[in-house]
Structure 1
Amino acid sequence: MDPLLEPFQLRHLTIRNRIISTAHAPNFVEDGHPRDRYRLYHEEKAKGGIGMTMIGGSTNIAPDSPSVFGQLYAGDDSIIPWFQNLTEGVKSHGAAVMCQITHMGRRTAWDDGYWLPVIGPSGRRERAHRAFPKAMEAEDIARVIDDFAAAARRCQEGGFDGIEILSHSHLLGQFLSPLVNDRKDEYGGPLENRLRLTVEVLRAVRAAVGPEIIVGLRLTGDELSEGGLSADDCVAAARMLAEVGAVDFLNVLAGAPYDDLGLAGWVPPMGMPSAPHLPIAGRIRQATGLPVFHAGGIADIATARHAVAEGHVDLVGMTRAQMADPHLVAKLMRGDDERIRPCVGLGYCVDRVNQGKPAVCGHNAATGREAVLPHVIGKGETRRKVVVVGGGPGGLEAARVAASRGHDVVLFEAADRLGGQLLLAAEGRVRRQVLGIADWLIAEVARLGVDVRLNSYAEAEDVLAEAPEAVIVATGGWPEGPAIPGGDLTVSSWDILSGAARPEGEVLLTDEAGDHPAAVTADHLAEAGCAVEWVTPDRTPLHDLGPTTSAVALRQLARDGVRFTCLHELIAVSAEGARRRATLRHVLTGKTETRLVDHVVVEQGVVPNDALFHALKPEASNLGQLDHAALIAGRDPFVRCNPKGRYLLGRIGDAVAGRNIHAAVLDALRTCKEI
Structure 2
Amino acid sequence: MVSIQSPPGSEPAVSSPSVSPPSKDPLLQPLQIKTLRLRNRIMSTSHASFMDDGGLPLERYQRYHEEKAKGGLALTMFGGSSMVDVDSSWGGGGQLNLATDEIIPHFQNFSRRIHAHGAALMCQISHLGRRADATTLNWLPAVAPSRSRETQHRAFSREMDEHDIRRIVKAYGAAAGRCREGGLDGVETLTGGHLIGQFFSPRTNFRTDRFGGSVENRVRFGLMVHEEIRRRLGDGMILSMRFIIDEADKDGLSFEDCLEIARIFEREGLVDVFNCIFGRMDTVIALAEQNMPGMSQPLAPFLSQVGAFRQHTRLPVFHAARITDIATARYAIREGLLDMVAMTRAHMADPQIVNKLMRGEEERIRPCVGASYCMHKKVNCIHNPASGRETILPQIIETAAKKRRVVVVGGGPAGLEAARVCAERGHDVVLFEAGSQPGGQLLLACRVSSRRDLVGIIDWRVSELERLKVDVRCDTYAETDDVLAENPDVVIVATGGLPDTDWLDGAEHCQSIWDVLSTMAGHSGDVILYDGTGRHEGISTALHLAEHGRSVHLVTIDDSLAQEIEYSTRAVYRKQFKKRDIAVTLDHHLIKVSRDNSNSLTATFRHELTGDLLDMRASQIVVERGTTPLDEVFHDLKEKSSNQGVTDLDALLAGVGQPLRESEAKFELHRIGDAVASRNVHAAIYDALRLCMVL
Larger mean Cα displacement after TM superposition, 106-115 or 331-340: 106-115
Point out 4+ residue stretches in structure 1 off by more than 4 angstroms.
none
1:440-479 equivalent positions in 2, closer than 5 A: 440-479=460-499
Partners of 2:178 and 2:599 lie apart in 1 by 72
Partners of 1:86 and 1:650 lie apart in 2 by 39
Q: Does the 8 Å CA contact 1:261/1:547 hold for their aligned counterparts?
A: no
Map of 2:694 onto structure 1: 674
Map of 1:355 onto structure 2: none
Partners of 1:305 and 1:292 lie apart in 2 by 15
- Using the TM superposition, give the Cα deviation of residue 500 of structure 1 relative to its aligned residue in structure 2, in angstroms: 7.8
1:256-655 equivalent positions in 2, closer than 5 A: 256-265=280-289, 266-352=291-377, 358-481=378-501, 483-499=503-519, 502-576=522-596, 577-636=598-657, 638-655=658-675
- Using the TM superposition, give the Cα deviation of residue 592 of structure 1 relative to its aligned residue in structure 2, in angstroms: 2.4
1:7-56 deviation per Cα after TM superposition (whole angstroms, max 9, x unaligned) = 00011110000000010111111111111111111111111110110111
- Using the TM superposition, give the Cα deviation of residue 482 of structure 1 relative to its aligned residue in structure 2, in angstroms: 5.5
Mapped pair 1:27 → 2:50: yes
Q: Does the 8 Å CA contact 2:308/2:337 hold for their aligned counterparts?
A: yes
Larger mean Cα displacement after TM superposition, 622-631 or 446-455: 622-631
User: Which residue, 93, 98, 106 being the options, matches 2:130?
Assistant: 106
- Using the TM superposition, give the Cα deviation of residue 238 of structure 1 relative to its aligned residue in structure 2, in angstroms: 0.5
Map of 2:276 onto structure 1: 252
| 1:615 partner SS | helix
| 1:619 partner SS | coil
Partners of 2:139 and 2:194 lie apart in 1 by 19
Q: Normalising by structure 2, what TM-score?
A: 0.94
Paired letter, 2:653: I
| 2:487 partner SS | coil
User: Which residue, 37, 54, 60 being the options, matches 1:37?
Assistant: 60
Q: Does the 8 Å CA contact 1:482/1:602 hold for their aligned counterparts?
A: no
Partners of 1:259 and 1:104 lie apart in 2 by 14
Partners of 2:86 and 2:550 lie apart in 1 by 52
Paired letter, 1:562: I
| 1:380 partner SS | coil
User: Which residue, 214, 220, 233 being the options, matches 1:196?
Assistant: 220
| 1:142 partner SS | helix
1:501-532 deviation per Cα after TM superposition (whole angstroms, max 9, x unaligned) = 75311000010100100122112211221100
Q: Does the 8 Å CA contact 2:87/2:132 hold for their aligned counterparts?
A: no
Partners of 1:482 and 1:519 lie apart in 2 by 21
Map of 1:140 onto structure 2: 164
User: Which residue, 640, 646, 657 being the options, matches 2:677?
Assistant: 657
Q: Once superposed, what is the RMSD of the aligned Cα atoms?
A: 1.3
| 1:143 partner SS | helix
Partners of 2:655 and 2:215 lie apart in 1 by 54
User: Which residue, 98, 111, 116 being the options, matches 1:92?
Assistant: 116
Q: Does the 8 Å CA contact 1:574/1:581 hold for their aligned counterparts?
A: yes
Larger mean Cα displacement after TM superposition, 340-349 or 205-214: 205-214
Q: Does the 8 Å CA contact 1:626/1:639 hold for their aligned counterparts?
A: no
1:187-246 deviation per Cα after TM superposition (whole angstroms, max 9, x unaligned) = 111112111111100001111222121111111011112211111111111011101111
Larger mean Cα displacement after TM superposition, 610-619 or 197-206: 610-619
Partners of 2:308 and 2:216 lie apart in 1 by 20
Map of 1:210 onto structure 2: 234
Mapped pair 1:173 → 2:173: no
Larger mean Cα displacement after TM superposition, 435-444 or 281-290: 281-290
Partners of 1:321 and 1:206 lie apart in 2 by 32
> How many percent identity over aligned positions?
48
1:129-168 deviation per Cα after TM superposition (whole angstroms, max 9, x unaligned) = 1111111121111111111011101111111001111122
- Using the TM superposition, give the Cα deviation of residue 491 of structure 1 relative to its aligned residue in structure 2, in angstroms: 1.2
Q: Does the 8 Å CA contact 2:651/2:659 hold for their aligned counterparts?
A: no
- Using the TM superposition, give the Cα deviation of residue 277 of structure 1 relative to its aligned residue in structure 2, in angstroms: 1.2
Paired letter, 1:156: R
| 2:109 partner SS | helix
1:76-100 deviation per Cα after TM superposition (whole angstroms, max 9, x unaligned) = 0111111111111111000111111
Q: Does the 8 Å CA contact 1:429/1:523 hold for their aligned counterparts?
A: no
Q: Does the 8 Å CA contact 2:376/2:565 hold for their aligned counterparts?
A: yes
| 1:438 partner SS | helix
- Using the TM superposition, give the Cα deviation of residue 365 of structure 1 relative to its aligned residue in structure 2, in angstroms: 1.1
Partners of 1:513 and 1:108 lie apart in 2 by 32
Partners of 1:249 and 1:262 lie apart in 2 by 24
- Using the TM superposition, give the Cα deviation of residue 484 of structure 1 relative to its aligned residue in structure 2, in angstroms: 3.5
Q: Normalising by structure 1, what TM-score?
A: 0.97
Partners of 1:278 and 1:580 lie apart in 2 by 50
| 1:132 partner SS | coil
Unaligned runs of 5+ in 2: 1-23
Larger mean Cα displacement after TM superposition, 70-79 or 625-634: 625-634
Q: Does the 8 Å CA contact 1:380/1:406 hold for their aligned counterparts?
A: yes
Mapped pair 1:230 → 2:254: yes
Partners of 2:242 and 2:191 lie apart in 1 by 6
Number of equivalent positions: 669
Larger mean Cα displacement after TM superposition, 266-275 or 433-442: 266-275
Distance 1:574 1:91, change over 3 A: same
Partners of 1:503 and 1:228 lie apart in 2 by 47
| 2:153 partner SS | coil
| 2:180 partner SS | helix
Partners of 1:183 and 1:545 lie apart in 2 by 39
Partners of 1:216 and 1:10 lie apart in 2 by 11
- Using the TM superposition, give the Cα deviation of residue 120 of structure 1 relative to its aligned residue in structure 2, in angstroms: 1.2
Partners of 2:215 and 2:585 lie apart in 1 by 45
1:649-671 deviation per Cα after TM superposition (whole angstroms, max 9, x unaligned) = 12111111111111111111110
Unaligned runs of 5+ in 1: 353-357
Partners of 1:291 and 1:617 lie apart in 2 by 61
Paired letter, 2:272: D
Paired letter, 2:299: S
Larger mean Cα displacement after TM superposition, 418-427 or 58-67: 58-67
Paired letter, 1:479: P
1:227-286 deviation per Cα after TM superposition (whole angstroms, max 9, x unaligned) = 111111111110111011111111111010111110012111112121111122223322
